Structure formats: structure tokens, C-alpha cells
A and B are shown apart, each in its own frame.
Chain A
Amino acid sequence: MNDETNDGRMSIIVRTIATMMLPFILIFSFYVIMHGHLTPGGGFQGGAIAASAIVMMIAAYGHKMMEKRISEDGLSMVESVGAAIFAVVAFIGVIMAASFMYNFLVGTPLFGETPPFGSNPGILNSGGVLPILNIAVGMKVIGGLAAVVLIMALAGDKEGDKK
């Protein structure tokens, strides 16, 4: 690989495969996040998968190209919003119901159903606030991990310039 002419991009085979894989990885990560209350996985794991998709794109296309598509400020904002959702959900527990982090959605139409006892695959529309918290954590992890990798890639770039 010669980074000088290609701007850090990898060969066309890698780029094409990466582009093809991207939607599948993202869908899998959203599956892991959304089924966090039913199957192994959850916000952090799903978020890490989605962030690894972004890392794959950075590796395949080079960080200069990706910098134009995703900004570090935007990723930080996603992270902040995710964390804020988490805290707001926790506080709604105090204001509307009994205590901090109280599961106030049980019994409501939104994520409020109770799965039957016995062997069954579970109901997606259950779990109370847990799916919401999983989504919030997922947002935070996607934003945080992708921002860290992007910043490190850019910092390595600056270092190269100085030399």
C-alpha cells in the first residue's frame, strides 16, 4: 500500500466489500441493541458493532475521506444526546413514579407487555424502560467509540505532517 498517492485508501476490492458489508453490520448492530432485553447483547455490544462498522469504513476509505462524511462534533453530539436520554429516563422515574430509575413503563402500551411463563422466544414489546436505555447506551457507544477512533486517526495524521 502506498499511502501517499491513495490518500490512505485501500484497494478497490476492499472498498467494495466494505461498502457491501456496511448495511448488514449496521442492521445486525441494531438487532443486538433492540433485542438487548431478550437475548445476550444490549446497548454496549450493539453500539460497539456499529462503531466497528465505522472503523471499517475509516480503514477502507482512509480517514480524510471519512472526515468529510462524519464529523467529530456530530459524533460527540450523538453521544451527549444518548447520555442525556439515559439520565432523563432515570429522572422521569423520580418525577412520575417512585424512585430514580424506576421502571415506569411496565403495563403501558410502550414496551409494557409481560411475556408468558414457560419456553417461548419472548416479546419484543416488553421490558419497560430497558429497551429505551439500551438505545440510549447504543447511541452513546456509537458516538463515543467512533469519535475516539476518528480523533486518533486524525492525530496520527498530524504527527506524520510534522515529521
Chain B
Amino acid sequence: MIWNVPFITVALLIAIGLYAVMFKRNLIKIAIGITIIESGVNLFLITLGYRKGGVAPIYTNLPSGVTPQQMVLPVPQALTLTSIVIGVAVLALMLSFIMKMYQHNKSLDSHSRRLKG
């Protein structure tokens, strides 16, 4: 069914992200992988909130002929926004760590690590 496309995309995004995190050696690619997983989860959340023919839940802006029952629940959108904000913070922190590690190691390869055993 065409309505399942978002969910299939979610599964694909999470699988691709996990693959990148687990099997890629480049640190930037690991960061990208995490961002892809996050996009998958966000897409899942936002898909849950979709309602056909729904309108924005603002009482004073209700178009004529639309009942309040047709308004969508804003909670999934709020959850997604929060998760995006957190994602920005995590990504910024992760990239600054990668920059620091590049300065020290002169390499982005995760196998050139120092802590072993």
C-alpha cells in the first residue's frame, strides 16, 4: 500500500544509519550515520501525527466549514521538534569532538585510535 511508504522509509533510514555507524571507519561518516538514524526516528514520529484532511490545531485560525474534530493532535510535532533540537546539539558536539581528534591524530580513521585493551 502507498500509505506504508513512510514506514518502509523509516526502516530503510534506520538500517542505513546503523550500517554506517557499525561498518564505516571514517568518523564523519559515523556522525552522518547517527544523523540518518535520527531522521528515520523523526520521520516515524511525524508520520504518526498525520491525519488525512487534518488542519493545524489553532482555534482562532480555523478555516470556515472545518470542525475542531478535524484538527490534528500537535503532540507528535512537538516531540519531533524537541528531538530535532536535541539532534542539533548532539551533532554540534560530535563534530567538534571529531575536529579535536583530527587535530591530535591527523586522521579521520576510527582505527587510528589511541585507547585500546
CB-nearest residue of chain B to A159: B103
Tally of chain B residues near chain A (CB < 8 A)? 17
Q: Which of A40, A116, A117, A159 contacts B99 (CB 8 A)?
A: A159
- B81 and A44: CB pair below 8 A? yes
Does B112 make an interface contact (CB < 8 A)? no
Given known contacts A156-B99, A159-B103, A119 and B60 CB-to-CB distance under 8 angstroms: yes
Does B8 make an interface contact (CB < 8 A)? no
Contact-residue size bin, chain A (C-beta under 8 Å from the other chain): 20 to 34
Which of B56, B60, B99, B102: most chain A Cβ within 10 A? B60
* B residues in contact with A121, CB < 8 Å: 60-61
Q: Which of A116, A120, A145, A159 contacts B102 (CB 8 A)?
A: A159
* Interface positions of B (Cβ within 8 A of A): 56, 58-64, 81, 85, 88, 92, 95-96, 99, 102-103
* Interface positions of A (Cβ within 8 A of B): 38-40, 44, 115-122, 145, 148, 151-152, 155-156, 158-159, 162
The 9 A-B residue pairs whose C-beta atoms are closest, nearest first, are: A148-B92, A122-B60, A120-B60, A115-B60, A155-B99, A44-B85, A159-B103, A119-B62, A152-B96
